[in-house]
Structure 1
Amino acid sequence: MNIESTERTLDLTGHFLIAMPDMGDPVFSGTVTYLLVHDDDGALGVIINRPLEVELQEVFKAAQIETYEPDVGELPVYHGGPVTPEQGFILHRRRERSWSSAITNDELSLTTSRDILVDIASKNGPEEYLFCLGYSGWTKGQIEEELKTNAWLTVKADIDIIFSPNSEKYSQALKQLGIDQAVLSGQGGQA
């Protein structure tokens, strides 16, 4: 008799990965990462709370895209992760106009095409977005192993936190779990 496993794999698509305070990897220390996709092949997301000392106007200039609205270029560029850090990725709500998006889930899209940059520069782009350089990726089973070592906390993502302009995204994500950042310990236990 052949009995198939009905065990469901962990699916963190649309969740935040919140780095524990004692995370040894400086790329992710103190970060909140939004997972756009998590399936049997691995996971892909972008860090949402690590602004770089670069503004979007510098991206427009490098891409030779003219902007007519000065305030558009004043938004920060984020470090999305260590994978292809020279590539730009725009995270935006899926319900808005469709651009040539590389990856989408039920709520958000991650777009890499030049057309969305041109539209953002002319204020015809998505209403809310993050421009990230690079993305974060995990191989099959990697996140599950990191969760076993208490490297991350996870919670269903609040999309409003992603697009909020403030620097409190880490503490806001923790509050979704009922955790005060001031009392968060770097030590975790396993039952």
Structure 2
Amino acid sequence: MSSITQSLKNHFLIAMPRLADPSFAKTLTLICEHSNDGALGIIINRPTELKLHEVFAQIGIEEPDICSRSPETVFSGGPIAKERGFVLHSGQSRWESSLRINNGLQLTSSRDILFALANDEGPEDAMIALGYAGWGKGQLEQEMSDNSWLTCTADNDIIFDTPFHHRLDAAASLIGVNLQLMSDQVGHA
């Protein structure tokens, strides 16, 4: 396989209505890394029943001083490594293990950011996710050619300021698409 023509890092993957895979149906995924070896993303519109204080308790923070800007909702970031936590956040990298997605967006997987959030010292904007979405070499490119996804440049306002149940439609509207008007049936002209 030749090299990828365009990295989708810092792009949203907008699930097409006909995407039947239950792990990705009706999802909006932020691509955090994309290279010839594959891609890693975080689904940003699937909340879990788990709350942030429960995550804190699981890592030994008994009485967190949760700041008002810390999110209470924990999201399902994808079907891989569901026990592994990720924090998608604003600001610069000052954590043990962070990946820069764009100038104002980082993905951190180290526990130090959770302790900071619990002590009111975390980033201004944050979204906590368990698990991630991953694609092997050439897999995402194949799914793109199969028309499983639409893409657009990521928008931090959609991630942090848009209610989760509106994020998919908000991202689609960035490229002038109304998903409600698209058929979920595959057909031929």
TM-score, normalised to structure 2's length?
0.89
* Pairwise CA distance, 1:96: 3.2
2:46 pairs with 1:50: yes
Say if 1:106 and 1:76 are closer, same or farther in 2 by CA, change over 3 A: same
The match for 1:25 is 21
TM-score, normalised to structure 1's length?
0.88
Show the 5 A alignment for 1:63-142. 63-65=59-61, 66-69=63-66, 71=68, 75-93=72-90, 95-96=91-92, 98-107=94-103, 108-142=105-139
Task: List structure 1 runs of 4+ shifted beyond 3 angstroms.
Answer: 69-74, 187-190
Deviation string, structure 1 residues 84-131 (Cα, Å, up to 9, x no partner)? 1001111112x3351112422333221111111010011100111110
Report how many residues are paired: 184
% identical aligned pairs:
44
2:153 pairs with 1:156: yes
The match for 1:176 is 174
Highest CA radius of gyration, 1 or 2? 1
* Pairwise CA distance, 1:8: 6.0
Question: Structure 2, unaligned stretches of length 5 or more?
Answer: none
Q: For residue 163 of structure 1, give the secondary structure of its aligned residue in structure 2.
A: helix
The match for 1:185 is 183
